[in-house]
Every structure is written in C-alpha cells, then in structure tokens.
C-alpha cells in the first residue's frame, strides 16, 4: 500500500496478529522514505509488470509512459556535488534492472516497426520523430549508460548490451556508432577501474560498493567470471565480429579480432572463423548474382533498343515502298479523256448547238485517237477492290507496328473507346444526341426539298 507515492508499506497475512511489530516496520519504512524519494524495489517490480501487460496488449504509448519513470532521473534531484542522481532502476537488483532496460528497448523496437502513419497517430508527429531519431542515431545507448549505470560504460549489464547492439543493428542508419560503443564496452569491461574517487563514493552507497567489488574481477583478460558472463561475452563478440563489423565491410579486421580474442577457445574460434568464411562467401555469391542480373538487364535493354531500331527501319522502308507504289499508280492512272461541253442551250438553238457539239466531239475523238498510244484503259472493279484491300492491309500493319512500338497509344485508344461507350450508356446523353441528330437530319431534308423545288421550277 502506498501513500502519495512517498513510501510503501507491505503487510503480510500474519502481520495482523502482531500490531506492535507492524507499527515498527511502518516507522522504519517511513524513515527510509523520508531520506530518499526513490521508488522501492516492490514499486519497480509492480511498474514493470504493468508496463509488460500494456506492451503485450500492444498499447505502446501507455507502456512507454509507464516504464519511463523507472529509467528517467528526477530533474530536481541531485547529490552533494551537484550531479544528477541516476534513474530509480539503477538502485534495483541486477535481474530487475536487466528486465526493465530490456522491456524499454523492446518497446522502442516495436515503436520503430510501426508504420509511419500509425506511429504518428499513436505518439504524435514530434514525439514519434524524437523516438526514431534517438534509436537511429544511437543516442539510446548513451541514455542507458548515463541514467542506469552512473555514466560508466563497462558497468552496463551484458544482457542490456546485447539488446542495445541488436536494436541498433535493426534500426540504426549506420553501424559506426554501434561499433564504437561495443569497442568501448569491451575495452572498459576488460580494464580494471582505478578511479579512487569513485571507490570513495562507492563506500558510501551499498549499490556502488557492490559494483566496486565486482570491478576488479572485470579486470581479467576476458572480462568474464562465471559461465553466464562467459556466454554473454561470447554473444557480444558474435554480434561485434559477425554482424557489426561485416555491416561496416571490415572483414579482415573481424578475422584478426577473432584470432586475437582471449575469450574464445579453439572450438569457438574455429566456429566463428567458419561462420565468417561462409558469410563472406555468401556475400561474394550475392554480389556475383547482382552483377550477373545487372549485366543481363543491360543486355536485354540493348536488345530492346536494337529491336526498336530494326522495327523503325522496317516501318520506314515499308512506308517508302507504299509511297512509291502510290506515286507509280497515280502516274499510271493519269489519262486525258477529253472535256465534255455543257448542255445548257435552249431548244430554239438546237441545231446550232448540235452542230457545234458534233464538231467538238469529232475534234475530241481525233485528239484521242492521235494520243492512243499514251492513253491507258480505265481499271476494272476487281483491280480497284484489290488496291483498296492492299492499302487497308498496309494501314492495319502500320497500326500494329505503331501499337507494338508505343503500347500507350493502344491504351489511350481503348480508354477513349471505353469512355465513348460509357458516355453513350447514359440515357440522357443518348437522348440529347438523338435530338441533335434528328434536328440536323430535318434541316438536311428541308434543304434538299427546297433544292428539288427550285430545280423543278
């Protein structure tokens, strides 16, 4: 039970039998809460469980806002030297600390995997961009070190380092920051801490003193004391050598680091080298496939260009032949059949007009007989039909070639036809077109009728 968040008093089922001991425990708890406003271990565990439930139900904004007070230091709280105190999670046990930071990093990973629109709707545009920038630029690593581990790089728990490296591998713009942070951690965790001021400070705090007691053990060559620490260090080396360095294209340095590492035994070193070799072969094979695919695409593009040029040359040659044939046909079909005089004279002058017409006909007949060699008999119906079919076939072939060279033209034609069909599918449009055509046809009929009457008169 908590009162205004100042302290927490925990009652056991048997505490009601002993009221005096209960009051004594409450007094001790109140005294401890007066000296420090930090949440207790029970509050941290309870808040962690709440945030976990919110995360499992995909309520990411509520989960983030629930876990933030555990990992964010109070702005108004500072020590005697004026330095900001670490976050409440820094005073928790190792397992609780790892759980809280792992949950926080998991929530950030889930947030960055959201669609941009969904993330902006859930967190707001500004906060969404801030969270994405913090992860992609690698600032979250510095946040963990400063707020959770007193700014000491080598004191970060190995499980938290693994989660940080994995998060940056998945979402960071480049792996330069990830590589630098892992190198700093590996160097700091393998070097003894000789800072006397920190040792004096640690003697005043049980949490810092326990961390100071662990620091000499981390001064060993491998930086691993227990099998759990060794496995975590091997996992960190795997992330560093087989993922981060390879993303930075530092294959030779990764191989040298594996060979020189004191953490790896012969079996693990051989497994790492084999994995590195297989990854390098896979990358080389992938690059070879990409080059082959690019070369194939370039060759296909060249073939398409040559095919387009060939089709264009064939179309131009076919067009030139068609023009030449039409010119030849036009020159061969030009015949002078004479000029027939008009028949517009009155019947009173029939004899004179008949005489003049007969003389003109006789002259034209003489001229036509004199030019008989040059005159050509008119074409028959079959020849004209064959010529029309030939021209129609040429037009169809030309349209097919044009559509093949430019498919968008066919699409436009289809869209135009479909739009015409859709337009005439509307009853109002059909009626309007019928009215316009009917009115035009009536005008044509009336004009033709008037012309017939005038000619008759």
pLDDT of residue 398: 83
pLDDT of residue 84: 58
What's the distance, Cα to Cα, between the start and end of the chain in Å?
Answer: 121
- Counting Cα atoms < 13 Å in the Cβ hemisphere of 394 gives 18
**Which three-class secondary structure string do you get for the chain?**
CEECCCEECCCCCCHHHCHHHHHHHHHHHHHHHHHCCCCCHHHHHHHHHHHHHHHHCCCHHHHHHHHHHHHCCCCCCECCCCCECCCHHHHCCHHHHHHHHHHHHHHHHHHHCCCHHHHHHHHCHHHHHHHHHHHHCCHHHHHHHHHHCCCCHHHCCHHHHHHHHHHHHHHCCCCHHHHHHHHHHHHHHCCCCCCHHHHHHHCCCHHHHHHHHHCHHHHCCCCCCCHHHHHHHHHHHHHHHHHHHHHCCCHHHHHHHHHHCCCCCHHHHHHHHHHHHHHHHHHHHHHHHHHHHHHHHHHHHHHHHHHHHHHHHHHHHHHHHHHHHHHHHHHHCCCCCCCCCCCCCCHHHHHHHHHHHHHHHHHHHHHHHHCCCCCCCCCCHHHHHHHHHHHHHHHHHHHHHHHHHCHHHHHHHHHHHHHHHHHHCCHHHHHHHHHHHHHHHHHHHHHHHHHHHHHHC
pLDDT of residue 348: 42
Q: What is the pLDDT of residues 160-182, one digit of tens each?
A: 999 999 999 999 988 999 999 99
pLDDT of residue 43: 87
Distance from C-alpha of 399 to C-alpha of 406, rounded to nearest angstrom: 10
pLDDT of residue 378: 54
Query: Residue with structure tokens 């190198």?
Result: 183
pLDDT of residue 154: 86
Residues in the chain where the model's pLDDT stays below 70: 1-40, 75-85, 190-225, 333-379, 456-457
pLDDT of residue 333: 65
pLDDT of residue 368: 46
Cα→Cα distances 143→95, 99, 148, Å: 19, 16, 8
């Amino acid at each position: 039970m908590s009162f205004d968040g100042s302290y927490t008093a925990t009652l056991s089922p048997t505490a009601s039998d002993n009221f005096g001991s209960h009051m004594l425990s409450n007094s001790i708890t109140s005294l401890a809460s007066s000296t420090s406003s930090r949440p207790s271990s029970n509050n941290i565990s309870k808040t962690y469980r709440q945030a976990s439930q919110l995360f499992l139900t995909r309520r990411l904004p509520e989960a983030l806002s629930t876990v933030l007070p555990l990992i964010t230091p109070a702005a108004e709280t500072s020590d005697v030297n004026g330095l900001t105190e670490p976050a409440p999670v820094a005073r928790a046990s190792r397992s609780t600390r790892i759980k809280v930071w792992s949950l926080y990093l998991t929530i950030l990973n889930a947030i960055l995997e959201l669609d941009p629109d969904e993330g902006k709707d859930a967190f707001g545009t500004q906060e969404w961009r801030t969270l994405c920038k913090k992860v992609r630029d690698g600032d979250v690593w510095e946040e963990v070190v400063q707020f959770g581990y007193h700014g000491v790089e080598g004191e970060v728990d190995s499980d938290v380092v693994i989660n940080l490296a994995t998060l940056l591998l998945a979402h960071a713009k480049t792996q330069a920051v990830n590589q630098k942070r892992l190198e700093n951690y590996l160097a700091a965790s393998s070097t003894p801490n000789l800072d006397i001021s920190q040792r004096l400070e640690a003697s005043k705090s049980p949490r810092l003193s326990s961390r100071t007691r662990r620091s000499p053990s981390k001064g060993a060559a491998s930086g691993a004391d227990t099998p759990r620490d060794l496995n975590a260090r091997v996992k960190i080396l795997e992330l560093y050598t087989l993922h981060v360095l390879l993303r930075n294209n530092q294959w030779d340095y990764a191989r040298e680091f594996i060979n020189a590492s004191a953490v790896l035994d012969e079996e693990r070193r051989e497994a790492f080298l084999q994995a590195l070799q297989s990854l390098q072969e896979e990358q080389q094979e992938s690059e070879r496939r990409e080059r082959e695919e690019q070369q194939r695409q370039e060759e296909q593009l060249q073939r398409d260009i040559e095919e387009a040029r060939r089709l264009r040359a064939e179309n131009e040659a076919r067009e030139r032949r068609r023009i030449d044939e039409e010119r030849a046909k036009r020159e061969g079909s030009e015949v002078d059949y004479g000029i027939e005089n008009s028949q517009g004279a009155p019947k009173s002058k029939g004899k004179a007009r008949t005489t003049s017409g007969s003389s003109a006909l006789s002259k034209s007949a003489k001229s036509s007989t004199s030019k008989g060699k040059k005159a050509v008999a008119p074409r028959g119906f079959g020849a004209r039909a064959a010529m029309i079919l030939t021209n129609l076939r040429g037009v169809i072939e030309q349209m097919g070639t044009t559509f093949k060279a430019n498919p968008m033209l066919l699409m436009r034609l289809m869209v135009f036809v479909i739009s015409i069909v859709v337009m005439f599918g509307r009853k109002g449009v059909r009626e309007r077109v019928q009215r316009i055509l009917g009115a035009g046809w009536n005008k044509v009929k009336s004009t033709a009728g008037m012309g017939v009457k005038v000619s008759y008169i």
